[in-house]
A and B are shown apart, each in its own frame.
Chain A
């Protein structure tokens, strides 16, 4: 089955630690995205990548980093510089930069 996988589903970290969230897709999509979702808010774009080895900052990139070394993978690192990292993180992909996006099941990160 084609789709997007995110792991783990739940992640707990201590404050001051970096943590990496995994996102893998087997849809052969060129573009991938990371969103953050907080209660009562829509999705906010963190980073996106339209091709391998290239990515751009979204609206709330501060305190986050990404890499795109392979077409299938777009890991997100939440660094200790992110002031309020506890949130639900969603990864998405699309065939091209302008096409509809397909979403993974999300990772809920809790930092204490």
Chain B
């Protein structure tokens, strides 16, 4: 079955430190991949997406993600975290060329220490 896994339920980093959030997918073919961020009690905001081409994708708010086919991964990174980055982050995927909908990971809660 198709699935998206975020192995880290909760991550804590200090402000100014680098960040990497992990995402692995299990699909028969390379899916389209997305990262979303959710602040408490709010909807989700799209950070970035990967459809094809360059495997390093730039997004909003200084985030980037790297697609690695060999590892079935799409990890989210930020070189220097700000206190306002504290939120929950969701990785999502869907099959290319399919009308089927997004499959979400269970999310990673990010805490930023001052």
Contacts and interface: CB of A to CB of B under 8 A. Distances in A.
Contacts of B94: 98
B102 A101 contact: yes
Contacts of A58: 101
Given A6-B43, A42-B105, A103-B36, 14 more contacts: A4-B43, A33-B101, A40-B9, A40-B106, A42-B106, A43-B90, A45-B102, A97-B99, A98-B32, A100-B46, A101-B46, A104-B43, A105-B43, A108-B41
Contacts of B56: none
Interface of A: 4, 6, 33, 40-45, 48, 50, 58, 90, 92, 97-98, 100-106, 108
Which of B9, B49, B99, B106 has the largest number of chain A CB atoms within 10 A? B99
Given A43-B104, A106-B42, A98 B99 contact: yes
Contacts of A103: 36, 43-45
16 contacts: A4-B43, A6-B43, A40-B107, A42-B104, A42-B107, A43-B90, A44-B104, A90-B44, A98-B32, A98-B94, A100-B34, A103-B36, A103-B43, A103-B44, A105-B42, A105-B43
B98 interface: yes
Contacts of B28: none
Interface string B61-92: 00000000000000000000000000000100
Nearest to A105: B43
A85 B68 CA distance: 38
B114 interface: no
Nearest to A88: B41
B97 interface: yes
A90 B43 contact: yes
A48 B9 contact: no
Contacts of A98: 32, 94, 97-99
A94 B75 CA distance: 24
B43 A50 contact: no
